[in-house]
Amino acid sequence: MAQSFGLEFLPTGGPKWFTYAELQAVANNFSNPIGKGGFDDVYKGELGHHRVVAVKCLKNVTGGDAEFWAEVTIIARMHHLNLVRLWGFCAEKGQRILVYEHVPNGSLDKYFFPASQILSLDKQEVINLRSTDSLKPILDWNIRYKIALDVARVIVYLHEECLEWVLHCDIKPENILLGDDFCLKISDFG
């Protein structure tokens, strides 16, 4: 089935095809959520050699298998320092799961809009938020400038340099992740 969708053209050393059971083990039975959206739930997991990953379980996959496989093949062929790397995928038992590199500092919106995090919370929720270190400091202008340049570089890559041009269509702070030393990584670009 995979060959009919072009997976035979995945790059050598590209993403691994995981079983659902393997990803249950990787994500500790999906017990450590790190993100939730309208179309997916994301869990922290660990592959061998202590490689931390984000296990993204897609919900209500529309468009069928052809769309999922096309997305996997396109993402697997994209290589840029500022794109989140796809380590693997799963298509089993009706599940559609993508395994990405984990980006430790979270999304940009947590840094740009810290006040919005606390406006709708009561006092105890604010105390809990601060105690879990979920409230991020506001970024200085040098880091913001670097982030803006990196976003521009990724867009140029996706629109002009990629083997298959890709329009992101959803560039927003929630999809801009910050790694070590605030190295930017764009997610949700398939």
Catalytic residue positions?
170
Geometric angle at alpha carbon 70, from 67 and 73, rounded to 5°: 150
Which of 31, 96, 32 shows the shortest CA–CA distance to 63? 96
DSSP for 136-187, written as a single string? PPPPPHHHHHHHHHHHHHHHHIIIIISSS-------SGGGEEE-GGG-EEE-
Q: Is the dihedral of CA 77, 50, 92, 55 positive or negative?
A: negative
Burial profile 156-180: b = 16 or more Cβ within 10 angstroms, e = fewer: ebbeeebeeebebeebeebbbbbbe
Residues in the chain: 190
Closest by CA position to 173, among listed 83, 105, 109, 112? 109
β-partners of residue 41 are: 36, 57
User: ∠131-132-134 over CA atoms, to 5°?
Assistant: 115
